[in-house]
Amino acid sequence: MKIGFLFPGQGAQFVGMCKDYYDKYNCVKDIYNKASDVLGFDIAKMTFEGTEEELCKTKNTQIAILVMSLAIADLLKQNGIEANISAGLSLGEYSALIYSNIIGFEDGLKVVQKRGTYMQENLPEGNWSMAAIIGLDDKTIEDTCKKATKGFVVPANYNCQGQVAISGEKEAVAEAMELLKEAGAKRAIELKTSGPFHTIKLQEASNKLYEALQDVKINKISEKTVLKNIDAKAYTNEDDIKRILANHVINPVQFKSIIENMIADGVDTIIEIGPGKVLSGFVKKTNKDVAIYNTNTVEDFEKIIAELKD
């Protein structure tokens, strides 16, 4: 058995996520307490007791998902379950980098806090939207987006076989959704997002993030491999990781290729670490032979321990 970890990104959050872990496991509570000290506010209180509106603000969402993901990864480690290869969707890449000690815990929390703030506060003027397109090949989606006449719209997330998220101006996204349905898409679903994420429209946020990353120490990559969103390849010690992470904000997420490369590397068991089950669905659509687990609740976690622990 070869285990891979996948960490979710923005959109998987819900009020109360991880509270069952927090109430049951002291090591999870310790991670939340340490994170609160670093961040300067009570992250547990915001995540467990705050409003959905507050949690769904990008500057809060990203850090809340990150802390949950790191707490559960630590809990798995304490129960003898680790992975030598990991990746994350968008924000989840930071969870993978911190888990793999390529970026330290404190540095990682601080830069993700800034990342969320920059992405929220440096949105270009206008109305922006994203939509998931299901049932078409990548090239058809790319070509159809170019036909939209009502503004900017491009593919932003290549999630899995037959599913791509497009991003851009609200009217252009709506137009592209109709064109894609005409082209044979099974479904076109508008997503609950507030900006043109993973497009060139976030250049200013990318620039500010690059500046913030200058204060982050990048550790030497040793045993644990992390696959990049930007090209689905493994990070190496020769990579300019800070530049890659800044460019990540303005480039499409190659998650379909990440899953394929992870499986090609011999991974036969994948654990989704954090809130939700979206990534588990992407894996199932990519390869039905891979064993997939998620950690959305304590019950899910206990199933993993029962089935995988040596």
Residue 191 is predicted with a pLDDT of 85
241: CB partners within 8 A, 6+ apart: 97, 102, 218, 235
d(CA 94, CA 112): 8
Query: Alpha-carbon distance 7 to 62, whole Å?
Result: 12
pLDDT of residue 301: 96
pLDDT in tens, the chain (310 residues): 999 999 999 888 999 999 999 999 999 999 999 999 999 999 999 999 999 999 988 889 999 999 999 999 999 999 999 999 999 999 999 999 999 999 999 999 999 999 999 998 998 989 999 999 999 999 999 999 999 999 999 999 999 999 999 999 999 999 999 999 999 999 999 987 768 999 999 999 999 999 999 999 999 998 899 999 999 999 999 999 999 999 999 999 999 999 999 999 999 999 999 999 999 999 999 999 999 999 999 999 999 999 997 6
* All domains of the chain in start order, with CATH: 3-122+201-308 (3.40.366.10), 128-194 (3.30.70.250)
Is 248 labeled as catalytic in the residue annotation? no
**3-state SS assignment for residue 180:** helix
Report pLDDT for 223: 87
Look at the alpha carbons of 241, 242, 243, 246 in this order and tell me if their dihedral is positive or negative.
Answer: positive
> Does residue 194 carry a catalytic annotation?
no
Active-site annotation holder among 95, 100, 129, 198? 198
At position 96, the amino acid (one-letter code) is A
User: Which one from 90, 129, 257, 280 is the annotated catalytic residue?
Assistant: 90
The b/e string for 134-168 (b: 16+ C-beta within 10 A; e otherwise) is bebebebbbebbeebeebbbbbbbbbbebbbbbbb
pLDDT of residue 310: 61
| Sheet with strand 187-190: strands edge to edge | 153-160, 163-169, 128-134, 187-190
